[in-house]
A = this chain, B = another copy of it.
Amino acid sequence: MTVTLADVAARARVSPATVSRVLNGNYPVASSTRERVLRAVDELDYVLNGPASSLAAATSDLVGILVNDIADPFFGIMAGAAQSEIGGPGDGSGRAGGEKLAVVCNTGGSPERELTYLTLLQRQRAAAVVLTGGALEDPAHQAAMAVKLARLADAGTRIVFCGRPPLPDTDAVAAALAFDNRGGARRLTEHLIALGHRRIGYVAGPLERTTTRHRLEGHREAMKAAGLYGDEESVTVHGPYDRSSGYDATLELLRREPGVTAVVAANDTVALGACAAVRDRGLRIPEDVSVAGFDDLPFSVDAVPALTTVRLPLFEAGARAGRLAMGKETPPPGGVATIGAELMVRGSTAAPAR
């Protein structure tokens, strides 16, 4: 049947223990022996039995990466970057230590799925878990998550938040890389205000998400500071992070408040929908209405006109999260690092026609 450690041992005329030690490289083995074993492994095409190994060693080489939507490059970029650090193939290490398997899990933004995936990863005794994406701000869910994460940490699983603030009560068990959503959003709106915009529509993300809230807060901070804070509710529309939501919300916004001269979208994808809506209303960008996004996804520069947005270093953050998950990097002091967001001014924003 399938080749086992014992088969290799027999062929190399050593004990199974020795083969295991050669394979794991965590115990001195004479080089002549090692060579003999390695040759046997090769000749027999031996592949380690992962479950058996995980069972005996009480650790596995799985690392889970939870994302809200794998089809969204926002997550794809972070996940890919994390995976490149986590290894599997190509981390050069060849053997020992590296060689982890990154598991990308799609929660679809659903809290239940998030928890279920954590259970699944707990079941697999995952070595680490990377959580990305804005968290739901529901106390019950947060409590459940905290409990689950505590249990995971307890079992030796490393926990990393990537691009999201740490959950309350998890600072002891997790490292966090949080994006400066608030600051980025503030600077974006300040830019618009500096251009002369006074009536600014906001197409927000889904309710009860930290990301949504922080970006909205940053926006309102800027508005308030400029003395423009008024009936914000009337120029804010919530919706999911997708294009059609941006389209619909913008249409609604323009209908409701024809005086709006700029639309800030929750992210670039939504902004694309907003652009389409503005255009379909027969308005020009940026002459009639300025549009801005968030994230600076690769396609944003190709929008016409190119999208003014806030650049989030997704790749860098993902890579760093991967390193934290692997224990290759020490966690930031206090467990939380805030990652800067950079304003990218492009063609989709301009001074309003007067």
Contacts and interface: CB of A to CB of B under 8 A. Distances in A.
Nearest to A155: B2
Contact of A90 (B99, B113, B303): B113
A79 B90 contact: no
Contact of A51 (B52, B121, B243): B52
Contacts of A47: 119, 122-123
Contacts of A77: 71
Nearest to A315: B71
Given A51-B50, A243-B302, A99 B76 contact: no
A123 B90 contact: no
A107 B83 CA distance: 10
The oligomer's copy count stands at 2
A125 B89 CA distance: 17
A109 to B, nearest CB: 12
A208 interface: no
Contact of A120 (B99, B105, B117): B99
A110 interface: yes
Given A69-B80, A79-B70, A80-B106, A124 B302 contact: no
A50 B51 CA distance: 8
A124 B101 contact: yes
A110 B91 CA distance: 13
B60 A51 contact: yes
Nearest to A72: B76
A10 interface: no
A108 interface: yes
A49 B54 CA distance: 10
Contacts of A106: 79-80, 83-84, 102
Interface string A149-165: 00100010000000000
Contacts of A37: none
A80 B90 contact: no
A2 B2 CA distance: 31
A58 to B, nearest CB: 9
A299 B73 CA distance: 11
B298 A243 contact: yes
A76 B71 contact: yes
24 contacts: A2-B155, A45-B151, A47-B122, A48-B123, A50-B54, A51-B53, A51-B54, A51-B55, A70-B70, A70-B104, A71-B79, A71-B80, A72-B76, A76-B76, A89-B107, A89-B110, A89-B112, A90-B112, A90-B116, A101-B105, A101-B121, A243-B298, A243-B302, A303-B303
